[in-house]
Amino acid sequence: MSKVIAVTGGARGIGFATARALKDKGASVVIGDIDEAAAEEAGERLGVAAYPLDVTSRASFAAFLDRAEEPAGPLDVLVNNAGIMPIGPVTGESDADARRCMDINVHGVMIGTKLALGRMLPRGAGHVINIASLAGVLPTPGLALYNASKAAVIAFTEATRLEVLDRGVNVSAVLPTFTNTELVAGTRSPKGQKNCEPEDIAAAVVELVGRPRPQAVVPRKLSGQVRIGGLVPDRVKRAVARRYGLDKIFLEYDEDARKGYDARIRA
């Protein structure tokens, strides 16, 4: 895989695993993260270039993409992975948290996508992969803000894909389920279900790079649930949520276990 690939939010979790998987496939990978020290450490561990990146800033994002292209040539793939996940009752979500979540999760993806397309469309080649979430199609109590942000990412990605469909550039969304990263700190898995690992999402990204398609659900077995979700009666959805504990997972959680993560995303 001789491609130049930039990954945002690459210092930890899904971003780190994705960068490693792509590098292992032979890609020239560059990572960016708002945590400069963590980005540098991740870059050293991976053996890739790492730069500070604030995805909410057009100037910062543009500079990051410029630096990504300097050593290896034009950008082939941008993986918009950076995101945060505040949880809890909707009435307890501060306006500051709401703005921060939407700014990073939605506007950050929009800025990155637009900047990447500005480089790719004139060449008639390239691929933007936006890490969304099943939360974008499966609303869950205690996750309203994150649900809203990821629903926006899914809609934005699909509309953009359709717009550039015949211009040689691919735009895709990845919809992971619960994944063992800091985002789910202090929460429990749905009853009878096992969380994904970051490597599972990374594998889906690698597959998309090799064979582009509009959307990848992880794990793949949940694709059917996504497709028929809008046809299921509300009473059935609520019964399923109670059965698996989805009605309380993000309302009844270990606040102490999330303190470190919450402090970092609000810094």
* Catalytic residue numbers, as ranges: 146
Report whether 50 contacts 43 (CB < 8 A): yes
Q: Which two tokens stand for residue 242?
A: 């109670």
Give the list of residues 6+ apart from residue 236 with CB closer than 8 angstroms, or none. none
Pinpoint the alpha helices (H) of 121-180: 144-164
H-helix or E-strand spanning residue 28? strand 28-33
Q: Which residues pair with 32 in a beta bridge?
A: 8, 51
For 152, how many CA atoms within 13 A lie in the half-sphere containing its CB?
17
Report whether 3 contacts 76 (CB < 8 A): yes
Rounded-to-integer distance, Cα 5 and Cα 23, Å = 9
Q: Which two tokens stand for residue 51?
A: 């730069």
Rounded-to-integer distance, Cα 108 and Cα 131, Å = 12
Q: Which two tokens stand for residue 23?
A: 């590098």
Residue among 24, 126, 140, 39 nearest 82 (CA): 39
